[in-house]
Amino acid sequence: MYHSTSSRTAQTNAPIVFIVDDDSVLSGSVASLLSSVGYNTKAFSGPEDMLAHPLAHKAGCLILDVRLQGYSGFDLQQRLAEADNRMPIIFMTGHGDIPMSVRAMKAGAADFLTKPFRSQDLIDAVAVAVASHSEFLEAQREVDSLHRRFECLTPREKQVMEGVVKGLLNKQIASQLEVSEITIKLHRANMMRKLHARSIADVVKAGLQLELSKATVPI
């Protein structure tokens, strides 16, 4: 069971923050605080309801109690990781200790707050986590777009691109592929157009993102 506590002033495109805590009073307080600074919030009493929510892959941040009734917050952290859900997690607990916080951070937690914590500390932690997640999603969209453009290349254009990423000259690529240098220039021009690359540097950068080469290629 969950309840949305988004404030009336929260914008529809504002970041969504999930809260999982079996203490309804505390989760309501956290939700109200975050709603007051512009976030959309959804509070859950347990992990199953949160995982089943249609926005589980779109939330910008998760505030999670370490100890839930019959469940560990670390278990939920692991389930999200196994599902490749990169939503940043801010743990909160009234029983925190150093080993517990180290375990959370090593597993990728964005922050670890010990109750009682200052309202500003929570607001700051959420702001950092949401911004970081937004940057990650934008970078992922760019990589996905690059993969789609790369798949539009012909097999020969992909070979030419691999040669360019390795730092080979046109004549060297032509020799390897046993075609004329003019043909390589044509393939290279088509390849750059499809990739939206304005320079050889752009091609090399794209190749590194696509992991066509594991080493930095001199330009």
CA 127 to chain centre: 15
**Which two tokens mark 211?**
């992991």
Single pTM value for the model: 0.73
Is the CB of residue 197 less than 8 Å from the CB of residue 179? no
Dihedrals phi, psi of 41, to nearest 5 degrees: -125, 145
Can you give the pLDDT at residue 9? 42
Report the pLDDT averaged over residues 21-44.
Answer: 93
User: Predicted confidence band at 4 (pLDDT cuts at 50, 70, 90)?
Assistant: very low
The predicted-structure confidence for 176-195, as pLDDT tens digits, reads as follows 999 999 999 999 999 999 99
What does the alpha-carbon distance between residue 78 and residue 104 come to, in Å, rounded to a whole number? Answer: 10
What does the alpha-carbon distance between residue 191 and residue 199 come to, in Å, rounded to a whole number? Answer: 11
Can you give the pLDDT at residue 40? 94
Can you give the pLDDT at residue 102? 80
List all residues 6 or more positions away from 7 whose beta carbon is below 8 Å from its beta carbon. Answer: 32, 35, 36, 38
Q: Which CATH superfamily is domain 2-140 in?
A: Response regulator (3.40.50.2300)
Every domain range in the chain assigned CATH 3.40.50.2300: 2-140
Can you give the pLDDT at residue 96? 67
The predicted-structure confidence for 97-156, as pLDDT tens digits, reads as follows 677 778 888 888 899 998 888 999 999 999 999 999 999 989 889 999 999 999 999 999
What does the alpha-carbon distance between residue 39 and residue 126 come to, in Å, rounded to a whole number? Answer: 10
Every domain range in the chain assigned CATH 1.10.10.10: 152-209
Q: Which CATH architecture has domain 152-209?
A: Orthogonal Bundle (1.10)
Closest C-alpha to 47, from 83, 82, 71: 71
Percent of the chain whose predicted confidence (pLDDT) is above 90: 58
Query: Is the preceding peptide bond at 116 cis, omega within 30 degrees of 0?
Result: yes
* DSSP type of residue 117: -
* DSSP type of residue 70: T
